[in-house]
Structure 1
């Protein structure tokens, strides 16, 4: 939800003597642009921002790699640093030096895609983190879910061997069904659920917090009460500080999501989970 758009929505009702819509609610995150003809579905603002982020990434990678040289320019150097971070700091560390290379393109794409969409929450004029809509983290999680189970099945050779590999060796026979049940819940329910909700929850809560301070300060300022107008200033200062902190959170959440995806792939490739 753009702070600017929200502020406009608050000021206009106040100017007409009506009640404001502050504080923001989850319903404010529903921002349809137009209905898709012949359907009950809408093309929304977050969908547009995700499309913009995709185009930005495509242009960035094309411009910085189309004339790749042994001595890189600034753009190529920056791209190589981000790529090396995903390659060495995530893929190789979590999967292992023998089997990590086939998964580097996937993990690199996942990291930069999530990061840019997260940063949409603080970059004007977008100010709208697309990952604050739970459907987008769920979609990315499904990709990770399919990849690491497919990798595990291909590594073990059969469903029975794959499921059997979830059990630690040396367990008494009577406890194996209970441990297998817990492992099945972890691998098929807990992991994808927490992976999606962690990213969604942090982006949603962080953006809501920014809106409260920035738009709340504007709400106080528009009361034209000297005392409340004075309080608006520290609210805005704190909003700026929280914006810088949110940038760090946005990076960390992209990193954590990709790191966990790599760890799940690495676990599926391991001889024993």
Structure 2
């Protein structure tokens, strides 16, 4: 077989756009309005998936019927999943319905941001870069602090979250430091890193598998059979990535619900 090996170009596909020597690199719309609206490929994918997500729910819920069908049925099934298996399962019916809008927003934004990693032509999740995971983690952070402060008062909530009653006095300085770091620092950090690292790792593995297929088939003709093996492995991992896409959205929303629940019952530490 004759052909040319196309090595993966992570600079154009993944890393943010930038200006160097006065010239734009990896940026769209850099010539429009002096570059104020310039975006890179990942930001374009993020905006595209957000618009498609909003469009889906607008079309699904524009004329709701008592007996749903078509897009409305799909939309209601998706919303019911978040309501039943995330919000109400962790928070109960009353608080679950109260916080359902934010939990559903987080779930569907993460899901929509993860999906491009297996969509041909897009091939990368914008959640593999820190911006969106950090934004959603901050949203989760603000919501669970709001929930605790609203119910207990801010200072009582903070005290109840970091002070464990019944400990020997000499342990309190150490335990308060650990609890404060775990509650108010570690939670948003782990939410951010978990989502970003999983989607980045999945993207890199898919790049390596399909780049290996390209290399074995076009560069090393004698290894074409091995190229078939890496192609099958890449397709199998793509199916596994679909599971990861869903699980990461579910875990992010579920942990947000758990943090809200802990805030609401901070006085039962």
TM superposition score category, shorter chain reference:
0.7 to 0.9
Kindly provide the CA deviation profile for residues 22-61 of structure 1, in whole angstroms up to 9, marking residues without a partner as x.
Answer: 5x66785115323485579951111111111111111111
The aligned residue for residue 4 of structure 1 is none
Q: Distance in 1 between matches of 2:154 and 2:109?
A: 33
Q: Quick one: which of 223, 231, 238 aligns to 1:236?
A: 231
Q: Quick one: which of 258, 265, 268 aligns to 2:260?
A: 265
Q: Is the 8 A contact 1:168 1:272 kept in 2?
A: no
Q: Quick one: which of 248, 251, 256 aligns to 1:253?
A: 248
Q: Distance in 2 between matches of 1:173 and 1:97?
A: 39
Q: Distance in 2 between matches of 1:27 and 1:171?
A: 55
Q: Is the 8 A contact 2:111 2:249 kept in 1?
A: yes
Shift of 1:97: 2.7
Greater displacement, 75-84 / 168-177: 168-177
Q: Is the 8 A contact 2:148 2:154 kept in 1?
A: no
Runs of 5+ consecutive residues of structure 1 not aligned to the other structure: 1-9, 15-19
Shift of 1:169: 2.8
The aligned residue for residue 7 of structure 1 is none
Greater displacement, 241-250 / 228-237: 228-237
Q: Distance in 2 between matches of 1:129 and 1:219?
A: 24
Runs of 5+ consecutive residues of structure 2 not aligned to the other structure: 17-25
Q: Distance in 1 between matches of 2:57 and 2:7?
A: 41
Q: Does 1:93 align with 2:101?
A: no
Alpha-carbon distance change, 103 to 168 in structure 1, aligned in 2, over 3 angstroms: same
Q: Does 1:174 align with 2:170?
A: yes
Q: Distance in 2 between matches of 1:154 and 1:250?
A: 33
Shift of 1:174: 2.6
Q: Is the 8 A contact 2:14 2:41 kept in 1?
A: no
Shift of 1:64: 1.1
The aligned residue for residue 33 of structure 1 is 27
Q: Is the 8 A contact 1:216 1:235 kept in 2?
A: yes
Q: Distance in 1 between matches of 2:68 and 2:33?
A: 47
Shift of 1:147: 1.2
Shift of 1:70: 1.0
**Secondary structure at 2:27 match in 1:** strand
Q: Quick one: which of 59, 67, 71 aligns to 1:75?
A: 71
Q: Is the 8 A contact 1:96 1:266 kept in 2?
A: no
Give the aligned length.
254
Kindly provide the CA deviation profile for residues 177-229 of structure 1, in whole angstroms up to 9, marking residues without a partner as x.
Answer: 22111111001211111110000000000110001011221122111x33222
Q: Does 1:136 align with 2:132?
A: yes
Q: Distance in 1 between matches of 2:154 and 2:75?
A: 39
What are the within-5 Å matches in structure 2 for residues 104-119 of structure 1? 104-119=100-115
The aligned residue for residue 55 of structure 1 is 51
TM-score normalised over the length of structure 1: 0.86
Q: Is the 8 A contact 2:130 2:196 kept in 1?
A: yes
Q: Is the 8 A contact 1:210 1:243 kept in 2?
A: yes
**Secondary structure at 2:120 match in 1:** coil
Q: Distance in 1 between matches of 2:84 and 2:132?
A: 26
Greater displacement, 241-250 / 163-172: 163-172
Greater displacement, 181-190 / 26-35: 26-35
